[in-house]
Each structure stands twice: as structure tokens, then as C-alpha cells.
Chain A
């Protein structure tokens, strides 16, 4: 048992588990157990309390009771999705029914545990949720870097890139944009260099990760110095 908490403490940042449950006993016991397991634990008595708090950006997940006063766990899940929260959710419930759990899982929940749950099941679900969060974060980081690279292109370069992604030949791009073939080739070389890709397929794949960015071509404040 000790070994699996040690690696958590040794990490750069200790993962956080947010617990939302209206039962004080359950809340308190969960804080004890999760803290003993080496997680940073924050507990809340209602969905509103959770929403009102500021949450740091490290690795984290939510353990969420389905039955909560006023705003239910499922409602909170929906509200968080709308806010763009990236924290994966593990549901716990006193008396869950199948439609409820199906709804929760379909909305992206990691697991749906019936109270009283075993320690093993809870910790496994939490670890799965944290892994999911790490995966989402690294994906985010990658996307951000792609976005950054794309934003470093000049407006003309982005225009050319759009045509390249659409599968146009240099000759066609030259005709479409009314610029010399030589200029097109020059823009292409510059794009490849700025985006740090070596082949056209890599270029297309990268551009497709952020499809909307190319459409913002010429939007005010978007152009960056080439």
C-alpha cells in the first residue's frame, strides 16, 4: 500500500481529488481515506459550493454524488461540460438505477459506483480518472503548440497553407492567388519551416488538428508578425 502512495508524493505535482457529497460523514471519511492515499483532497457539500471555488490547474478529478440538494450530480456534470472543465468524473450513489448510470456514463463519466463501494474500486476509478485527465492535458498542450505555430504564419502564408491543405497544386495556387509560382514555392518552404514539418502529409495532419484556425485568416488582431 505504501509504495503506491510514495510515487504520488514523489511527483512534481500531487494530484487533487475534488469530492462533492451532501452527507458530512461520507465527505469526511472520503477526505481521510484519499488523504491517507496521498492525494490532495478538497471536499464540498453541494454543487454550488464546488462551482463557487477556484480550482488549480494540476492533475485532478471529481468524485461526485448523484443525489445532491438543488443541483444534482448529473446537472453539475452537464454544467461543467458546458464550462469546458477537463476534470474527469467518478460518480458515487446511494441508490443508483440503470437509466441514471447510463446517462452519466454516456456523458463521459469514468465510473459509476454504488455506495457502499470498496476501497479498491474507488481507488481504481480515481486512478483511471487521473490518467484520463493527464491524457487530456497533454493533448491540450499539443494542440496549444500547434495553434501557436499556426499563428506564427503570415496572413499570406496561412492563405497558401489553406490551399495546400485543400489539395491544390502550386500552379493552381499561383493562378488562384494571382502570385508567381516561385512565390508560392517560397511561401511553402517558409510554412514547412515555421511549423517544423518535413512532408506535406504531416502538414495537412497538423492543420487538420485545428481546423477553425485557418478560417480565421485575416480576422482582426489575429495576424502575427511573420
Chain B
């Protein structure tokens, strides 16, 4: 009971003191104690309205009344409306048209006087009126409500007045608290709903420990964990967990957001199935429930990132195709040239066969055809020989070239391909490497060709043997050496020279012209290209030597 009273706050002090005395005096009054106990119990389980009705029912019976109701007094005192009726009053109201119902303005001498004088008013029962008792409820010197009981068969006594005052005061306190709680619950429900229905994941972390305190439904959807699982996880478990997306990096971001301004960054996340996906994270220090917290907003941006990656990939493929196709074009043009004499040889042969079978045709015709066939054979050989000559098509556009730049260009071109195939590409440079002079596109083609060959050689190797290495170093006689090595199956010593022959290929569907053209291009630049003596099982290493540009050495 004391605790109930303690909720009263700073109400009318005089009344409070008097009530407390009463409480002590009446503390042994068993019916009152029982009634209070019931109310204390009911306060937590009933809704506000039901609770108020229950208190009316209690005071009704304690004061031997037949009905009772609460009425709220508006601040301007102009309107007084019944808010809650006792169960009896409610039933009575339904039965009798004359009785005031909830929401109806209250009129009556007793109530009016009570409001006017701000003290309890008793009306003695008569043949015309039932007896009536009205008690004001005061808060901060203001009359906020009335509680009215009526129908005591005798007359209301001082004890009734005290009892009603005591109960009215207590219940009003409880009612106010309940009202506040209900309002809070309603607003919390609203916020929770907004929180859970948000399109982005929302996390609330402890600023010190980084511990997850709360998360909305979307977070669980994004990561695929249940709230219980999620609470036990470290950030590493829901991240790619490789720099720059490791636990360490995450903590650095959290600290930064805690210390400085809000942080916005992209993060490679991992869901419950181990799938990696992109999220955008916004971290912000915020006061939540009066405590400093870290508020994190997580947005799934996989779709956007995938589109970006696709664009990037296409760009690289395009650059790749542009460079490779120059080689392809050359091969195509060779094929075209070569197919002319071959077609003529074949057609002439069939013509000769027909001529020989026909009896009338003179022998000289066959001789002429055979001579033409021989000439076309020569011509085909000439075309093949020409591949070894420096390229006739187009002039070399010569410029100083930085080896590191050339290699990094090639690395960019093959990066996606290598990544997808799980091939590690290692680049080894040397400081102060001299530049070379040459045609950028042609040198790039050679390096790209060597690189693609190397990648192809290890593509089907076991994962730990999928390595391609590019080393650049300075060599004797003012040369620069570029070595492209793979950890593939290598090749037998006797094929070392054949690989530069036209139409030598180990690749299904290969034209066998790549290295032939590479040698042509490198020799046109005054350089050399050769295959290193292979040690057994050591893969293949191709070495390109290019003359250094002396002016930059």
C-alpha cells in the first residue's frame, strides 16, 4: 500500500498527510485492506478503463452505494464529462434513460458544488433524490476529476468521505501511471513497427564493447540468422573477413564513427550460407533511450555492385578483345591469303583429273595445269615465309616505354580471367629499370600473348600449382629482360624451337601463330624471344629481351 501511495507525486500536501494518517488508522480495517489488495493486483492486469471501473465497484460496496462514476473536469471547468461508470451504474444507465452515460455532460447540484468548493459534498437522500457523495480529485491545486457515488440507503458519513477520498486519490495515481504506460507502449509499438519494417537493416551497438544490443527484422533477413544466433556472432562472421573487410577494419570504422562524424562505407558481407554480398553501412553515434549508442544502418547493395562489376568486366574484356584482335586480324589475313593458292591448287587438280579422263583434250593442257599448281604451291610457301619478316602492315610507332607500366597494363587485362580461374599472378620488378623504345601496342600484344599462354598452361593444374610469374630485370648488353613463367606441365626440350614455327600449337583450336608473330614483332624491335631451358616439372619460362633506351638508362 505504501508503494502505491508513493506513486502519488506532489499532490495536494495537506490531503496527502491526512490520507496517510487515515491509512495508518484504518490499516487494520480488513475490508479496506482487502479492497486495496485487490486493486493493487488489478492495477497491473487490467486496462485503464477496466481498472477504474473496478475501483468504482470497490468503493461502491465499501460505501454501501448503488452506483458510482468518475467524471473528468476540463481545465476551463466549463465541461464535465462522465468517463467511467461502475458496473452497476453502467447497467443502470442502460436500463434507465434518465441516467447520465459516459461522455455525457454531468449536471447535478452535488457535482457542481464539489467543483465550485473543491471539497467533498454530501447530499442527503430524500424521496426525490438518492443520497449522493462527490469527492474532488486534485492535482497541483487543480481539480482534475470527480468521483461520485450515490444510493447509500442511509446517509454518507465522514468515514465514507475519507474512504472515497483515499481510494479516489490512490486510483487516480495508478490510473495516471497506467495512462502514461499505455501511451508509451503505443508509441513504442509504433516505433518498433517502423524499426522492423524499415527497408534497411538497423543495428544498435554498445559504443564501448561493440556488442549488438538490438537489431530490426531486416537485419535478420539480410544476413539470414535468427536474432539469437546473431547476438552471439562477431562481426568477422558476417563479413568477408579479409582485409579491408575484417573484424579489425570493422572495429576501426566503429571507433571512427564513435569518435568523429558519421561514417558511410561499402562492406563485403557474408550471410549465413557463406554467400558474399555487398552492403552499404552508415555508422553514427546517437543517443538512444538517453544512452550514447552506435547506430548502424545496413543496406544491401549487391544489385548495384553486380552491375558495377559487370560494367568493369565488360570494359576489361573490350580492352582485351581490342588488343587480341590485332593479332587475330593478322592471323585472319594470313589465312585468307593462304586460302587463295590452296583453293586454286585444289580446283586445278580436279580440273586436271577431268581433262585427263576426257579423250579429246590435248596433253599440253594437263601440263599447263600442273605448272599452275606448282606455282600456287610456291606462292603458299612464300606467304608462310613472310610471317617471319618484320611486319609490313603499318609503320612502327616508336616511343619510350616504361616496363612497369607495360606489365601492369597486361596485369589489368588478365586480372579478371586469372581471378576467375583461381590463378595467382605475381609481378616482380626491379628499381631503376631502364625504359625500352618501341611500339606500345605491339609490345603489349607480345606480353599479353605470353601471359595468356601461361594462364592457359596452369588453368587445369591443381590449385596450389596455378601460378604465373612475370619478372622484369636489366640484362647484359644494354638489354631489358622480361620473363613470363608458369607452373604448368612444361614442354620437352626438342619442342623448344618448334614453338616459334608457324602453325605449331598444343591448344585445341589454336592457330599456332601466336608465338610466331611474337618473335616477328620482338625481332622487329631488335630484341630476342626464346624459351628457357626447362628443368623437369618446372613449367615453362619465356624470355623476352628488348634493347634498353640508352637515354633513360
Q: Please, which residue of chain A has its CB at the minimum distance from the CB of B337?
A: A94
> B358 to chain A: which residues have CB within 8 Å?
2, 36
Q: Is there contact, CB below 8 Å, between A116 and B372?
A: no
User: With A and B bound together, what is the CA distance between A119 and B346 in angstroms?
Assistant: 8
Using C-beta atoms within 8 Å of the partner chain, give the interface range for chain B: 20 to 34
Q: Please, which residue of chain B has its CB at the minimum distance from the CB of A122?
A: B347
> B352 to chain A: which residues have CB within 8 Å?
32
B331-380 contacts to A (CB < 8 Å): 332-333, 335-337, 339-348, 350-352, 354-355, 357-358, 369, 372, 375-376, 379
> B350 to chain A: which residues have CB within 8 Å?
33, 119
Question: Assuming A26-B340, A94-B340, is B348 touching A2 (CB within 8 A)?
Answer: no
Q: Please, which residue of chain A has its CB at the minimum distance from the CB of B365?
A: A32
User: With A and B bound together, what is the CA distance between A37 and B348 in angstroms?
Assistant: 13
> B375 to chain A: which residues have CB within 8 Å?
25
> A67 to chain B: which residues have CB within 8 Å?
336
> A94 to chain B: which residues have CB within 8 Å?
335-337, 339-340, 343
> A36 to chain B: which residues have CB within 8 Å?
351, 354-355, 358
Q: What string of 1s and 0s marks CB contacts (under 8 Å) between A73-94 and chain B?
A: 0000000000000000000101
Using C-beta atoms within 8 Å of the partner chain, give the interface range for chain A: 20 to 34
Q: What string of 1s and 0s marks CB contacts (under 8 Å) between A113-130 and chain B?
A: 011111100100000000
> A95 to chain B: which residues have CB within 8 Å?
332-333, 335-336, 339
Q: Is there contact, CB below 8 Å, between B354 and A115?
A: no
Q: Is there contact, CB below 8 Å, between B351 and A29?
A: yes
Q: Is there contact, CB below 8 Å, between B357 and A116?
A: no
> A52 to chain B: which residues have CB within 8 Å?
none
Q: Please, which residue of chain B has its CB at the minimum distance from the CB of A120?
A: B350
| Min CB gap A114→B, angstroms | 8
> B342 to chain A: which residues have CB within 8 Å?
115-116
> B333 to chain A: which residues have CB within 8 Å?
95
B430-460 contacts to A (CB < 8 Å): none
Which of B332, B347, B351, B375 has its CB near the most chain A CB atoms (within 10 A)?
B347
Residue from B335, B344, B355 in contact with A28 in the complex, judged by beta carbons closer than 8 Å? B344
Residue from A1, A29, A114, A117 in contact with B357 in the complex, judged by beta carbons closer than 8 Å? A1
- A208 near B: Cβ within 8 Å? no
Q: What string of 1s and 0s marks CB contacts (under 8 Å) between A1-44 and chain B?
A: 11000000000000000000001011011101100110000000
| Min CB gap B159→A, angstroms | 108
| Min CB gap B499→A, angstroms | 24
> A29 to chain B: which residues have CB within 8 Å?
343-345, 347-348, 351, 372
> A23 to chain B: which residues have CB within 8 Å?
340, 344
| Min CB gap B416→A, angstroms | 26
User: With A and B bound together, what is the CA distance between A77 and B340 in angstroms?
Assistant: 21
Which of A2, A30, A36, A119 has its CB near the most chain B CB atoms (within 10 A)?
A36
> B337 to chain A: which residues have CB within 8 Å?
94
| Min CB gap B345→A, angstroms | 7
Q: Is there contact, CB below 8 Å, between B339 and A115?
A: yes
> A115 to chain B: which residues have CB within 8 Å?
339-340, 342-343
- Can you identify 6 A-B contacts, CB atoms within 8 angstroms? A25-B344, A28-B348, A29-B351, A36-B351, A95-B339, A115-B339
The 7 lowest CB-CB distance pairs between A and B, nearest first, are A115-B343, A32-B351, A29-B347, A25-B344, A94-B336, A36-B354, A95-B336
Having A32-B347, A33-B350, one finds 7 other A-B pairs with CB under 8 Å, namely A25-B340, A26-B347, A33-B351, A92-B343, A94-B336, A115-B340, A116-B347
Q: B residues engaging A (CB < 8 A)?
A: 332-333, 335-337, 339-348, 350-352, 354-355, 357-358, 369, 372, 375-376, 379
Q: A residues engaging B (CB < 8 A)?
A: 1-2, 23, 25-26, 28-30, 32-33, 36-37, 67, 92, 94-95, 114-119, 122
